[in-house]
Amino acid sequence: MPRTPNAQPYCSFCGADLEQKLGPVLRRGEMYSLFYCNECGVGETWPRPDTETLARLYAPGEYRADEGKRFIAPIEYLFELHKKWLIWRIGASMRVGRLLDVGCGSGYLASLFAGAGWDVTGLERDENTAVHARETYQIPVVTDIADADGHFDLIMINHVLEHLDNPMMLLEECKGRLAAGGKLVVAVPNFGSLQSIVAGDGWFHLDLPIHLYHFSERGLVTLLSKAGFTVVKRSHADWIQNIYGWLQSLLNRAGISHNSLYDLLRIKDGASVLKMQRPALISLLSCVWALPLALIGIFVERLCRSGGVIRCTAVVAPVETKK
């Protein structure tokens, strides 16, 4: 899928012309738009940030924290509960076996799987983060899928695909690493969700320009199909991501400084709270009206099956043979 960066907005997957859906909007010091392929159901960030910009955006302390934890303790606890629930759900539907956690980051989720009996390997392309995961959780972590041994019963790609320059290549590599009967589980923000439609360019999970791709449910299913998978299950159940998506998106939509509540929740020490800026304080007070609306949003999106996150479970599609 060769492509000249920023030369012309056409779809990376099917070559069709893209339609501008959002923007231009100022994010992290630059103007960005979202162009969308109506054939595939996938959007792309435009212009595509260059390697230098991405390196700056992903620097420790910016997108991710060195120690792998990004939020105040109660939020981290909720994330932990959600991860354990996810492991329980997967464990209830298949036998414990070999797991590859793609984009394992700090290695925490992989370590929870290991604690539940899975034989875990992490894949993390950032060497420093990989070293941290190995040392902290004593799990094998590779920086290239080619370095992982053998085949896997389960491959998880959890909120990673939207960050990649070439998501199709990763999916095809994963297909080659699934054991017979193995499952691929992919979760991404749902660009076609109700919260995305309501919030527009204020949608929290849009995350321009860090997210290079923006998948609708149809888009993710289409991409998996193009890579040779058949989707066997779809789920929108990600309560933390979904409710926070609504809450922060409503605050953004109301014109409060972009993602200022999110910045507040990343404050980890009490002294920093005392230095709280006015937008963060307004965000906090605004939760009085925004939280009830977010709960209504969760309820409605549940009814519409249009949650802020889409998770697909897929298996390798059977090869069609000519009679």
State the nearest-atom distance from the C-beta of 162 to Zn ion, in Å.
16
Which residues 6+ apart lie within 8 Å of 57 measured at CB? 28, 49, 63, 209, 210
Which residues 6+ apart lie within 8 Å of 308 measured at CB? 189, 190, 193, 194, 195, 196, 205, 236, 238, 241, 242, 245, 246, 301
| CA distance linking residue 211 with residue 44, whole number of Å | 8
Instruction: Give the residue with the Cβ less far from Zn ion, 1 or 81.
Output: 1
State the nearest-atom distance from the C-beta of 222 to Zn ion, in Å.
8
Which residues 6+ apart lie within 8 Å of 264 measured at CB? 276, 280, 283, 284
Instruction: Give the residue with the Cβ less far from Zn ion, 12 or 313.
Output: 12
Instruction: Give the residue with the Cβ less far from Zn ion, 39 or 165.
Output: 39
Q: Return the SS3 of 173.
A: helix
State the nearest-atom distance from the C-beta of 10 to Zn ion, in Å.
8
Do the Cβ atoms of 34 and 20 come closer than 8 Å? yes
Cβ burial, residue 290 (10 Å; 0-12/13-18/19+): buried
Instruction: Give the residue with the Cβ less far from Zn ion, 39 or 173.
Output: 39
Q: Name which of residues 238 to 297 contact Zn ion (CB under 5 A).
A: none
Instruction: Give the residue with the Cβ less far from Zn ion, 158 or 222.
Output: 222
Q: Name which of residues 71 to 110 contact Zn ion (CB under 5 A).
A: none
Number of residues that bind Zn ion (CB under 5 A): 7
Contact pattern for Zn ion over residues 131 through 160, marking x by CB under 5 A: ------------------------------
Count the Cβ atoms, other than its own, within 10 Å of residue 61: 7
What's the maximum distance between 2 C-alpha atoms anywhere in the chain? 73
Q: Helix H segments across 58-107?
A: 73-93
Q: Could you say which of 39, 76, 126, 173 contacts Zn ion (CB under 5 A)? A: 39
Q: Name which of residues 7 to 26 contact Zn ion (CB under 5 A).
A: 11, 13-14, 16
Question: Which range in 26-34, 39-47, 285-293, 302-310 contacts Zn ion by CB under 5 A?
Answer: 39-47
Instruction: Give the residue with the Cβ less far from Zn ion, 39 or 119.
Output: 39
State the nearest-atom distance from the C-beta of 38 to Zn ion, in Å.
8
Q: Could you say which of 22, 37, 309, 310 contacts Zn ion (CB under 5 A)? A: 37
Q: Could you say which of 34, 40, 157, 194 contacts Zn ion (CB under 5 A)? A: 40
Query: Interface with Zn ion by CB under 5 A: which residues?
Result: 11, 13-14, 16, 37, 39-40
